[in-house]
Structure 1
Amino acid sequence: MIDFELVIPTGWVHIPTLPEYAKLRDRNIEEIIKRALPDTLPRDKAGPWRKMLRKDMVEAAVEAQRQGARGLVMPLTEMQGMRLPGSLLLTVIGADEGEPEDPTTVLNSVLADAGDNGIALEIGGCPAVRVQQIIDSEPLKRKAPSVRVSYFVAAPDHPGVWGLLTFTVLTDGDVEAEEVQAITLLFDAVVGTLRWADRVDVPTEDEVLAQMPSD
C-alpha cells in the first residue's frame, strides 16, 4: 500500500493511532514518559508530572483516532524555554468507489473554498494545497483562538489517494505573535519533508512489539 513518511526533529514523537495498534500506542506513550521523566527522579515530584503527561498524550491519541488519523506527531522538548503548544495529525484518505477525480480539479476546488487562506504548492514533487484558519478553541476548553493549518497532498500514480496533514498551534490570544509564527513555520518544515512510498509487508502490531526491547 502507498503511505507517506516524515522526518521529525529530535525531541518530537510519533504515536500510532489506528485501532489495530492500540497496544503499540500505549507502549510508545510509556516509553516517551520514561525518557521525559526517568525513574531516577524523586517519585513524589515526578509522579504528578507523569500522570499529567500520560493523560495529555492518551487524550490526544484518542482524539486523533476519532478523527480518522493514523498517527499523531507531537513536540515534547522545549524551544527557547517554551514547550511547543501544538500537534500534527497524519491521515491517508483512500479512493472511494467509482472513478476518482483528477487531483488538479480537487485541489482547485479546495483553493476556491479557502479563498485568501489557501495556497498551491508542491510537497515531495506532488501537487498540494495549504489552508490556514483561525479557529475557536472552545472545543479544546480554551478561551484563546488557535491556528490550524491543513495540507492536502496528492499521492503519485494513485488517483484518489491523498495525504491529509493537519496541525494546530495554540495561542494566548495573539495569533500573530512571533512565537506562534515561529512554531507554525516549524510545523510547515516538518510537513515539507513528506515523501510517498509503497509499503510492502507492513508488520502487524505483535511483530512490531516483538522487535522492541523488553523492560
Structure 2
Amino acid sequence: MAEPTSPPTGYRVLLPSDWIQVPLRHGDTEETVRSIVSSAFARVPADAPRDKLTPFRLELERRLRAAVAEARKAKALELYLPMRLSGDVNLGASIIVSEALLPARTGSDGAASQAADPAEIAVQLLSRGAGDIDVSSGEVDGALAVRRERVAPAAAGQGVESASRRVDYFVSVPGDPGRWFVAAFSTIGAGDPRDDLADAMVEWFDALMTTFRWSWT
C-alpha cells in the first residue's frame, strides 16, 4: 500500500450506542455538560416522576463536569464515556483521546532537523515495560502502534479514589513523524482493576481499536 502524501485530518471508530463522545476542543465545560445532559434526558418519557429524575440528573451533571474538567486539564481532544439512562449512570470507564507532538531533533550545528523516526520512539516506549507494565507493538490501520497496559493505584490526594486498569495506544500519524495519536482507556472494573469485568472491558477496548480508521477530508 502506498504511503499517504499528507497526514490524516481525523479518525473514526465504531463506538457502541451507549457511549457518548464529548468534544473538548471548543466550548466551555458547563456548556458541554448541559448539552450532553439535555440531549440524554430528551429521550426520557414525559410522564417520568420528577422527584426521581432530578437527583439522577444532578449526579450525572456533577460526574460529567468532573470528567470533562479533568480531560481538559490534560489537554485532551475528545473524551468518551459510557452512559445508560435506563439504569445507573456508568462512569466507571473512559477513553481520552489526545495527541503527542515530538520536538524536532537538534543537529550538531544547533539547527532543528526532522522529528525522530516513529520506529525510534516505539523502541523507547517498548523499553519502558517493566514489572506490572505490559508493553507491546503492532499496527493500527497500517500505522506503527505501541500498546501499554498497567494498573494505576488510587491517589486520594489527587482526587483519584480508586485504582484503575489502564490501556494506552500510541499510534504514529501517517505522513507526520512528529505526531502520535494517543487513546487512553481506563476502567475500575467492578471495584477491582484486576477483576473479570476489568478483563472484559480491556478486551472490549482492544476490539474497539481494531475498528480504528484514519480519515482524510
What range describes the TM-score normalised by the shorter chain of this pair? Answer: 0.7 to 0.9
**Structure 2, unaligned runs of 5 or more:** 1-7, 105-111
SS in 1 for 2:128: helix
Q: What is the letter of the counterpart of residue 38 of structure 2?
A: E
Q: TM-score, normalised by structure 2?
A: 0.79
Deviations 1:125-181 (A, max 9, x none): 111011011111223442x42101111001111111110110110145533311110
1:35 and 1:177 map into 2 onto residues whose CA distance is 35
Deviations 1:162-207 (A, max 9, x none): 10110110145533311110111112222332222234xxxxxxxx
Aligned residues: 197
1:123 and 1:101 map into 2 onto residues whose CA distance is 20
Q: 1:27 to 1:47 in 2, by over 3 A?
A: closer
Does the 8 Å CA contact 2:190/2:198 hold for their aligned counterparts?
no
1:171 and 1:26 map into 2 onto residues whose CA distance is 24
Q: Which has the higher helix share?
A: 1
- Indicate which of 122, 129, 136 corresponds to 2:146: 129
1:141 and 1:157 map into 2 onto residues whose CA distance is 37
Q: 1:176 to 1:95 in 2, by over 3 A?
A: closer
Q: 1:12 to 1:86 in 2, by over 3 A?
A: same
Q: In structure 2, what is the equivalent of residue 114 of structure 1?
A: 129
Once the two structures are aligned, what percentage of the paired residues are identical?
25
2:68 and 2:88 map into 1 onto residues whose CA distance is 25
SS in 2 for 1:21: coil
Pairing 1:77–2:92 present: no
Does the 8 Å CA contact 1:7/1:190 hold for their aligned counterparts?
yes
Q: 1:38 to 1:48 in 2, by over 3 A?
A: farther
Q: What is the letter of the counterpart of residue 144 of structure 2?
A: P
Q: In structure 2, what is the equivalent of residue 104 of structure 1?
A: 119
- Indicate which of 177, 192, 195 corresponds to 2:195: 177
1:193 and 1:140 map into 2 onto residues whose CA distance is 33
1:25 and 1:190 map into 2 onto residues whose CA distance is 25
CA shift for structure 1 position 81: 8.9
Q: Which has the larger radius of gyration?
A: 2
SS in 2 for 1:163: strand
